[in-house]
Structure 1
Amino acid sequence: MQLTCPCCGEQFPLEAGMADDEGKRLAALFAGMEPKLGKAVLQYLRLFSPAKRSLRTSKAIRLVEDLLTLVNPGTVSRDARTNDSRRATQTLWAMGIEQMLSAREKLTLPLDNHHYLRAVVFGLAGDTQAVAAAAEASRARPAGTGPLRTDDYFLKLSQINGDESKGLISPEEAEKRRRELA
């Protein structure tokens, strides 16, 4: 994922963005997510990117914080005006994002908020087959494969970057290892 510098507008890789405070804050938000949800949210953020620019890190932080406010209670309501809510796991939210991404061409981009996602997840939460699939996906995840703690992530990322800069591993191998961290 490419981020945009708030000063000059230049694009750079997500890993480089973790060198500044906003990048670290964004990474910390992802560290608390289940890996499947984190990967889906990275792709979901692209739906908010303006047509001729990349998404600014500060806006990405706000979007992820807002999304986590919806995800963390473990329930979803169709909209803020109703009290009707359904149980929704992080896996179900990831499924909702994947459904939106597969129908990207039908969406009006860039998105402004999470309202449509909330409606999609609400629909999935009412679908017994989708709920069963989400539960199965959660059970299928091996024990002990939770997200890395933030400091572990940064340590491993810095080791990869250092090995690459010293020529100990190829850029392709470094990129592969970075993807495995996610």
Structure 2
Amino acid sequence: MDIRCPCCHSTFGLEHVTEDEALREMMALLADLPREVSRPLVAYVGLFRGKTRATAYERQLRLAREALELAGDVSLVGAALSETVEAIRGKRDNGEDTRPLRNHNYLKRVVESLGARGVGAVQSGAMVEREAAPQRPAKGVMRALQAMERGRQS
């Protein structure tokens, strides 16, 4: 099965994606998270990327796990990730700081600030309401990855 990159429009086989263990784990991690957390998490991990080099999949996975472990409330982490990404991108757009992130210190402060304001508890209630509504099936890409993995194990 071929996939087309949404950025550069090149095509590659789905089996290439499943070859890297860290990438498979990252895709599974993202698939298990609510959209309000997975999208800002991907953007946040991208803030660690330098201008000339891609970030290794192992490092991306480690960064994602570390970010998610900053608070027990996933919705709080999602809100903090969104706020952090917006703030850092705003600074970069203004030319203030274009260096890649090196640690989670900024995110830690945002998590603490939002936690003190009780943002996570408010968002958790909204997420419970959404979870009560019928959910769409799992992402098609994850299904294909899992099917390929089962086929390779047979």
TM-score category (smaller protein): 0.5 to 0.7
- The answer for the alignment partner of 1:102 in structure 2 is 86
TM-score, reference length from structure 1: 0.57
Normalising by structure 2, report the TM-score. Answer: 0.66
Task: Give the helix-richer structure, 1 or 2.
Answer: 2
Cross-structure match for 1:166:
none
The answer to whether structure 1 residue 112 and structure 2 residue 119 are counterparts is no
Give the letter aligned to residue 142 of structure 2: F
CA displacement 1:38-91 (0-9 Å, x = unmatched): 1110111111111222222121011112223324xx1xxxxxxxxxxxxxx211
Structure 2: which 5+ runs fail to align? Answer: 148-154
How far 1:134 sits from its partner (Å)? 1.4
For residues 7-47 of structure 1, the C-alpha deviation after alignment (integer angstroms, 9 at most, x for no partner) is: xxxx988x653443221121122233233211110111111
Q: Secondary structure of 2:33's partner?
A: coil
- Note the aligned Cα RMSD (angstroms): 3.3
Pair 12,110 (structure 1): closer, same or farther in 2 beyond 3 Å: farther
What is the percent sequence identity of the aligned residues? 24
Match of 2:52 in 1: 52
- Aligned residues, how many? 130
Q: Does 1:93 align with 2:39?
A: no
The equivalences for 1:29-40 within 5 A come to: 29-40=29-40
SS at match of 2:78: helix
